[in-house]
Structure 1
Amino acid sequence: MTPDHISLHNKQFEPYLSAAQLASAIQQVAARLNHDYHGQTPLFVAVLNGSFMFAADLLKEITLPCEVSFIRVASYQGTSSTGEVKEVLGLTEELAGRHVVILEDIVDTGHTMRMLLDTLAEKQPASLEVATLFLKPECLQYELPIRYVGLSIPNDFIVGYGLDYDGLGRNYPDVYKAV
């Protein structure tokens, strides 16, 4: 049962998207990936921490041979983003000539995704795509080739399903927005 609101730190949140709505969006993204990569063996690169639930549920729907890797991107200094990816942590796979799909929980300004795309493109993959559960189009500050989008949403502050507020809220199966 979904609580009618949750409190995290000093903020209140109300229900926004149900687990069923998320599952439907993920199934649609998976169907497109299964179609587009038929006959291929893509490497899915999940960006931690936020994408862990999305990546797990998406990959359960992938019906083709694939590999999975997890990375962390260091772009923060203190509590604010520097807007520059300093380091990609955990990527040990060779990307040259591979079909790579980055799995991200949310793309808003696009700073981190732009730098991540540039960094991974230097490794000469055969193709490089992005699959994100959430996209905030009104926040984007870059033209990004985001081919797979689960849900386009307004510029609301959301938590749950892997997204957090200062470390809390990732564990909820539904998504909540700040009130």
Structure 2
Amino acid sequence: MTVEEANNVLREADLLIGEAEVAAAIGRMAEELTQRLADANPVVFCVMNGGLIFAGQLLTRLVFPLEAAYLHATRYGHETSGGHLNWIVRPQAELRGRTVLLLDDILDEGVTLAAIADYCRAQGAAEVLMAVLVDKRHERKVSPGFRADVTGIETEDRFLFGYGLDYKGYWRNAPGIYAVKGV
């Protein structure tokens, strides 16, 4: 993708959720997670690359002891759809007996997030919680009723980018949640 093509994607996109609304959603999530996990001594994983911006803004608002780490598993790469789960970096922290919180940018179908959660449980995590900035409303979830434990924003079923979500590897840094025009 050229710079011109990337700029056209943003210029033509529909802004669904502005920066102030995203920040407010992250604040609400921080309050909920603080109440729930203040005494849990959790290990909190940023799911790379999408979760980076969301996790960075959320972590500074969690005012309790936690161990911060990251993992990287993907089905997409720079594509817009994907197949099997590819581990790039598995969790390095000891999970046995721990509360694990997974932070990711989006819950679309949930295949990747469900597989990561299953892996953490198989490693002995006592509890695995999922927090996502965006949840797309549709019926294609990995299993009926699959949801994150904490969600910041629900959106319509469109191709989204911004705040960690990307379009062909670009615009994770867009200051809001955008939908690609016509998609």
TM-score normalised by the shorter chain: which range applies?
0.7 to 0.9
Aligned position for 1:101: 101
The answer on whether the counterparts of 1:44 and 1:100 sit within 8 Å (CA) in structure 2 is yes
The answer on whether the counterparts of 1:99 and 1:127 sit within 8 Å (CA) in structure 2 is yes
Identity over the aligned pairs, expressed in percent? 28
CA apart distance, 1:171: 1.4
Aligned position for 2:143: 142
Q: Secondary structure at 1:141's aligned position in 2?
A: coil
The answer on whether the counterparts of 1:53 and 1:161 sit within 8 Å (CA) in structure 2 is yes
CA apart distance, 1:141: 3.4
Aligned position for 2:112: 112
Q: Secondary structure at 2:68's aligned position in 1?
A: strand
CA apart distance, 1:170: 1.1
CA RMSD of aligned residues (A): 2.0
CA apart distance, 1:86: 3.5
Aligned position for 2:71: 71
CA apart distance, 1:73: 0.2
Counterpart code for 2:89: L
Counterpart code for 1:8: A
- Deviations 1:27-66 (Å, cap 9, x if unpaired)? 1111111001122211111101111110011111100011
Q: Secondary structure at 2:33's aligned position in 1?
A: helix
Aligned position for 2:30: 30
CA apart distance, 1:110: 1.2
Q: Secondary structure at 2:109's aligned position in 1?
A: coil
Aligned position for 1:151: 153
Q: TM-score, normalised by structure 1?
A: 0.88
Q: TM-score, normalised by structure 2?
A: 0.86
Aligned position for 1:131: 131
In structure 2, stretches of 5+ residues that fail to align are none
Q: Which has the higher strand share?
A: 1
CA apart distance, 1:150: 0.5
CA distance 1:7–1:118, shift in 2 (3 Å): same
Aligned position for 2:86: 86
Aligned position for 2:54: 54
Provide the C-alpha distance between the structure 2 equivalents of 1:133 and 1:63, rounded to a whole number of angstroms: 19
CA apart distance, 1:78: 7.9
Q: Secondary structure at 1:128's aligned position in 2?
A: strand
